Amino acid sequence: MKKDSWVASPFMVWVVIFTVIPLGMVCWYAFTDASGAFTFDNILKIGTYWTYLKDSLIMGAVATFFCLLLGYPLAYIMSRASWAAQQTMMMLLMLPQWMNFLLRTYAWMTLLENNGLINHLLGQLGIGPFHMINTKGAIILGMVYNFLPYMILPIYSVMEKIHSSLFEAANDLGADKLATLRRVVFPLSLPGVITGITMVFVPSVSTFVISKLLGGGNNMLIGDVIERLFVGAAPNYNVGAALSLVLMVLILISMAVMKKFDDGEETGGLMM
């Protein structure tokens, strides 16, 4: 089928024009000043934004951790359920995802506000009010809520393929439930876990909407800063591009680290 490779040419042209060149432009902006002269100033300026970057990475990591903590058991439960139950649970997981994520985040805003439903209900019981909105916790909650299914589905899709005979075998060989889980299920589910972690971590670190709606003006993340530098009141494409570049590199590094744990499995990432 060698002669067929030309059919990929529209794709190759597309990738070059709309992926490679734009990224090249980001780099170009990152290393030039407003007049177009080469400079390292933008990269050096990143020091001023370090707190945002650090906050984003930490909050992204915490959100990813909670997604894994909450999601892994559910993925396991799902994979052991009957086929019909599996289908139903899949559907229930996907359903909120098909609604827009802005709406999902907005829903939490109405719950967490100082005068929101939670405080209102607690107030009727004579407790509170608690200050929940515009805190880091609220943002992390928003991330976990929005991205939890991205953790569950890849893990589930790997676990579901683990043949039940493996469990019987482990059982026959004298392993109890916990040992089976630890020695058989967990190692086999690792590719799904890795995919899940990336699928949650990347959007969490780079979000700018969740932090705006749930974090107020006080808890800006790196995504908010980048957005402000490009379409905000005092735009500065050069510094914005430098920050984007750094964000991209940091994410690539963390992915490379994750890949080390993964034994080069290419699949698993594409389960709906």
Partner 1 sequence: MKASKLLSRIYTVLIFLFLYAPIVVLIVFSFNATKSRSVWKGFSLRWYENLFNDETILGALWVSIEVAVIAAIVATIIGTAAAVGLKSMNKKLRSVMLTLNNIPMVNPDIVTGISMMLLFVAIFGATGLLRPGFTTLVIAHVTFCIPYVILSVLPKLNQMNPSIYEAAQDLGCPPFRAFMKVVMPEIMPGIITGVMMAFTLSLDDFVISYFTSGSTAQTLPMVIYSMTKRRISPKVNALSAVMFVIVLVLLVAINARQIAEQRRTRKTNQDI
Partner 2 sequence: MKKIVSLVISAAMLLSALAVTGCSKDEGVPMTGEEIYVYNWGEYISNGDDGTLDTNKQFEKETGIKVHYLNFSSNEEMYAKIKSGSMTVDVIIPSDYMISQMIRENMLEKLDFSNIPNFDNIDEKFRKTSFDPTGEYSVPYTWGCTAIFYDSRYVDAADVDENSWDLLWNEKYTGKVLMFNNQRDAFGVAEAKLGYSLNSENLDELEACYQELVKQAPIVKGGYYGDEIFDKMESGEAIIAPYYNGDLLMIQETNEYVKGYIPPHANTFIDSMCVPTCCQNKSAAEKYINFMCREDIALANIETIGYASPMSCVVEQLDEEVTGEFFYPSDEKLAECEVFYSLSDETNAFLSQKWEDLMNQSK
Give the residues lining the site for partner 2 (CB under 8 A): 48-49, 51-52, 113-115, 133-134, 216-220, 231-235
Contact between residue 211 and residue 165 where contact means Cβ atoms under 8 Å apart: no
How far, rounded to the nearest angstrom, does the alpha carbon of residue 40 sit from its chain's CA centroid? 30
CA torsion sign for 58, 61, 63, 65 is: negative
Binding-site string for partner 1 from residue 130 to residue 159, where x marks contact by CB under 8 A and - marks none = ---------------x--x-----------
The whole-angstrom separation of Cα 264 and Cα 156 is 19
Hey, which bits of the chain come out as E strands?
Answer: none
Regarding 267 and contact with partner 1 (CB under 8 A), the answer is: yes
**Residue 167 site contact among partner 1, partner 2, none (CB < 5 to 8 Å, cut-off depends on kind):** none
**Stretch of 42-50, 112-120, 130-138, 180-188 lying at the interface with partner 1 (CB under 8 A):** 112-120
**Closest C-alpha among 111, 103, 146 to residue 132:** 111
The item of partner 1, partner 2, none sharing an interface with residue 267, based on CB under 5 to 8 Å by kind, is partner 1
Q: Which does 216 bind (CB under 5 to 8 A by kind): partner 1, partner 2, none?
A: partner 2
Q: Give the chain's length.
A: 272
Contact (CB, 8 A) for 225 and 212: no
**With binding defined as CB under 8 A, does residue 75 bind partner 1?**
no
User: Can you tell me which of 93, 139, 193, 214 binds partner 1, judged by CB under 8 A?
Assistant: 93
Contacted entry of partner 1, partner 2, none for residue 104, CB cut-off 5 to 8 Å set by kind:
partner 1
